[in-house]
Amino acid sequence: MEESVRYEINKLCALAEERGAIAAPIRTRDVVVATWVRFKCRFGCKGYGKHLSCPPYAPGPGETSAMLREYRTGILLRFDGDPAHPAIEPDDIPADFHPWFKDMILWINTTVHFLEKRAFYDGFYRAFGFGAYPCILCDDCIAETTDGIVDESMRRFCRHMDRMRPSMEASCIDVFATARNAGWDIRPIPCKDMEYGKIEHGNIRSVGLVLLD
């Protein structure tokens, strides 16, 4: 690894830790892309089609794989817990739980964007970040509130086009396998009676990625 890249990675990892994240360098060959991830979004996720950061608007496995081949290194970011809800019981979580986790999602995605921007202005102009979960910069995304067909041309109406980034999972990155390649044990959180969203504890581990060089 070039000395300038190593220095930048160390700098970004330190900045991430200042913002409460755990950071680790990762080779892009250790970032796992899989087609099944898109199926999980398409069949089972309540956010599907409701956010321009999510499928079907986010990159598919072929596009993400091709992009990753243009990079060698990046940093993987881990965010432990929800700052607004340090202790979570299943009955605390509403049916529409995406806004309930707003502070956590903003913590993750604003940190990813900050690190991407920092790297860009440090001369790593190709830096690009992937967050976690659906975008929550707006209360309602135009993808959800627009009647009729929403295609890529609607992206021009995004209110936060400069800050919105796709999540890893939305872009067909296998977050579990990628995290394990970094030495992190990431597992699904059990849900009460296996009911979607009713997680049994607040030990949430969320993951983001910033591609660097």
Cis peptide bond N-terminal to 56, omega within 30:
yes
Name the token pair of 151: 């295609």
Residue type (1 letter), 172: C
Q: How many CB atoms lie within 10 A of CB 139?
A: 8
- Cα dihedral 31/123/128/15 (nearest 10): 80
Distances (CA, A) of 194 to 34, 133, 147, 198: 25, 20, 33, 8
**Rounded distance, CA 88 to CA 186, Å?**
18
Radius of gyration of the chain (CA): 17
Q: Is residue 111 pLDDT above 80, yes or no?
A: yes
Residue 6: helix, strand or coil by DSSP? helix
Residue range 56-109, pLDDT digits in tens: 999 999 999 999 999 999 999 999 999 999 999 999 999 889 999 999 999 999
**Rounded distance, CA 12 to CA 8, Å?**
6
Name the token pair of 37: 């991830």
What ranges do the domains of the chain cover? 3-191+200-211
pLDDT given for residue 44 in this prediction: 85
Q: Is residue 1 pLDDT above 80, yes or no?
A: no
Average pLDDT of 124-129? 98
**Rounded distance, CA 22 to CA 13, Å?**
8
